Amino acid sequence: MKTPHILLVVGGGIAAYKACELIRLIRKAGMTVRCVLTDGGAQFITPMTLAALSENEVFTTLWDLKNETEMGHIQLSREADLIVVCPATADLLAKMAAGISDSLATTVLLATDTPVLAVPAMNVRMWQHAATQRNVAQLRGDGVQVVDPDSGAMACGEYGPGRLPEPVAIMAEIERALGSALSTPPAGGRGEALRGKRVLITAGPTHEPIDPVRYIANRSSGRQGFAIAAAAAEMGAEVHLIAGPVHLPTPPGVTRIDVETAREMAAAVDVALPADIAILVAAVADWRTADAADQKIKKTGGALPVLQLAENPDILAGLASDPRRPALLIGFAAETEHIVAHAQAKLARKRCDWIVANDVSGDVMGGQNNAVHIVTGQGVESWADLPKDQVARKLMEKIVDAVR
């Protein structure tokens, strides 16, 4: 088997230090790696460090007479099996989207027909800015695989999406992008069972604002949905996870989109289509306040505020009637009584293929275990109480059997 060759473009940001660990993981996986270091990246890490770790020459400038006599930027762009841009700064993403070639890195990226994987890292406001999101959408439309950043605390002191994923998660994306089987498949020989399938998963709660400090929510932790996303990725699927406000790490090999409200989740589901399989695990709030207050609502001498509620979009029913409806559409039902009966009614009402129902009257929401009933048009299959990761694997095995 040909040894995969990675060209790693290191952008300018504090997250550039993680490139060192990424190089180690790439080489440990049996791949070779060469590095292009941008001027910004060189402010955080040295060419000597990258050269020592990769055991290859590091390229920093377009104006190297020897290399450019040999059209070095063309050669670099063609000899790699995958180009990884990590960290991909807002500046790099913008230049990639616009086709600007004002440096060795951007010239290599413009001159290549090799698959490109971009791993963004930047301040939360920069990531959420309309210009960055427009550039990301353009790049994805052009065929670049852009990994959504993780959420968390940042070097600048702010919190939110924009953190570079951990190197082990980036390595999983590299392996998937190469289509290689370097990871050990899960038991049962199903490591490639969903290769080529696009799986859409929603997870967690939604928060519906009442005012700037209060919101309507539920106790969903997102653990079951995240476990299902991890199991789907392990089986080789292209997984897009739309997550409500939870504090969970992104599973390796999963593209994550963070949202807050039900309407944001519905919009993200629409953008993520088409998909072969959709598993809507999220506990979406049924209602929101009709008019969220711009300022904190104050107590007024005992008079209680009146909240007018409006119904949120029904994401599952909307997806069932969408022309782009996935071939297998699965909903979840969190119930406190008459679990199976309510799930059967929901299956008919929502017009999906399966309902996974569970009793949440105990500590299931936020807990580690789950006991579920799989309700389909053919009957009901009840599973004993299991850890959520085991429920996830068992569900994905059932899905594999259904889509074969």
Q: Is 156 a catalytic residue?
A: yes
**For residue 106, how many other CB atoms are within 10 A of its CB?**
22
> Comparing C-alpha atoms, which of 312, 404, 396 is closest to residue 354?
396
Cα–Cα nearest to 245, from 213, 273, 283? 283
Q: Which residues contact 311 (CB under 8 A, 6 or more apart)?
A: 286, 287
In the chain, the largest separation of any two C-alpha atoms, in whole Å, equals 81
Integer-rounded Cα Rg, in Å, for the chain is: 23
User: DSSP code of 374?
Assistant: E
- Judge whether 225 and 282 are in contact, CB under 8 Å: yes
Contact 13, 121 (CB under 8 A): yes
Q: How far apart are CA 309 and CA 404, in angstroms?
A: 44
Catalytic residue among 20, 86, 156, 352: 156
State phi, psi for 6 to the nearest 5 degrees.
Answer: -105, 135
Here the tokens at position 181 are 């089987």
Contact 355, 341 (CB under 8 A): no
Q: Return the beta strands (E) in 259-353 as ranges.
A: 277-280, 287-289, 309-311, 328-335
Cα–Cα distance for residue pair 234/261, rounded to 1 Å: 29
**Residues that are catalytic:** 156
